[in-house]
Amino acid sequence: MFIRNLTPRLLRAIEDSPVVFLNGARQVGKSTLAQSIVRDKGGRYLTLDELDVLSAANSDPKGFLSGLKGLTVIDEVQKAPALFPAIKVLVDKDRRPARFLLTGSANVLTVPKISESLAGRMQLVNLHTLSQGEIGGMTEGFVKAAFADEIPDGTDTHGETTNLTRRVLKGGYPELLGPGRTPSRSEWFSSYITTILQRDVRDISDIAGLSEMPRLLALLAARSTALFNRSDIARDLGWPRSTVDRYLGLLEMIFLFDLLPAWSGNLGKKLTRSGKVIFRGSG
């Protein structure tokens, strides 16, 4: 198991709030991290990827949550939107911290089927793919060093010359970086994208034309870190702007990319200028 640098922050959130939502794309390590935490705290782990558990949560959310003691992990919670109002009722009756650790592969604040946001009751913690520090078993200090009184000399303290291209192509998904036999990178990513678009997107939105979404994803990848212009994307694909907007919202909802805001010393320009598309997994 890779040691995640986010763990101390996640533990503080659990101790401070009745509900913590750990979100991020599929296969970034949410379940593994949540299981390790609940195991250390003597809690209970439930996953909605199991059909019988999912059926129980959807058919009787109040009964599903009744009798749970200690910290309870509910994995892939976005699959059972009815759980959110039920959790709200329980938390309003008992606001003690460390009650629920929820995980999900979709942004619950933007999923249309989820009517209750748990505002004021829940902390959000975002887990990304493995950082280079986590892969190397260390905590990065670039930002701290960049703002230190003395500028670092740039010496490679690990005594090795890193192959940047190799690192970028590998990306940060734990499945491709763990010890032992690993799957083909190209085959793994191909299956990953197919599964994400055919299952996860359909779970959160009933839309037609999902077969066209790989074209949009490929175009975004080709323009990664370039200025983001929705009208240009719609024109190049020959799609209506409304279709592009909806598909982009879905891809962002399942954490395939982030929109990096523009940088400017002027706040007004920062809010109005075009941002850039950054894929969460470089591989």
Instruction: From the options 3.40.50.150, 3.90.550.10, 3.40.50.1370, 3.40.50.300, give the CATH code of 7-126.
Output: 3.40.50.300
CATH node for 183-279: 1.10.10
Q: Where are the domains of the chain?
A: 7-126, 183-279
- Distance between CA 19 and CA 121 in Å, rounded? 6
Residue 96 near residue 62, CB atoms below 8 Å? no
Residue-level pLDDT at 159: 45
Residue-level pLDDT at 251: 87
- Distance between CA 127 and CA 6 in Å, rounded? 7
pTM of the model: 0.84
Tokens describing residue 22: 């750990």
Residue-level pLDDT at 207: 65
Residue-level pLDDT at 148: 86
- Distance between CA 11 and CA 249 in Å, rounded? 30
Beta strand pairing status for 276-279 and 257-260?
antiparallel
The residues, any chain, with a CB within 8 Å of residue 37's CB and separated by 6 or more, are 7, 10, 11, 14, 71, 73, 101
Buried/exposed code over 181-192 (b: 16+ C-beta within 10 A; e: otherwise): eeeeeeebbeeb
Residue-level pLDDT at 106: 82
- Distance between CA 53 and CA 64 in Å, rounded? 9
User: pLDDT tens-digit profile of 8-66?
Assistant: 999 999 999 999 999 999 899 999 999 999 998 888 999 998 999 999 999 999 999 98
pLDDT beneath 50, residues of the chain? 159
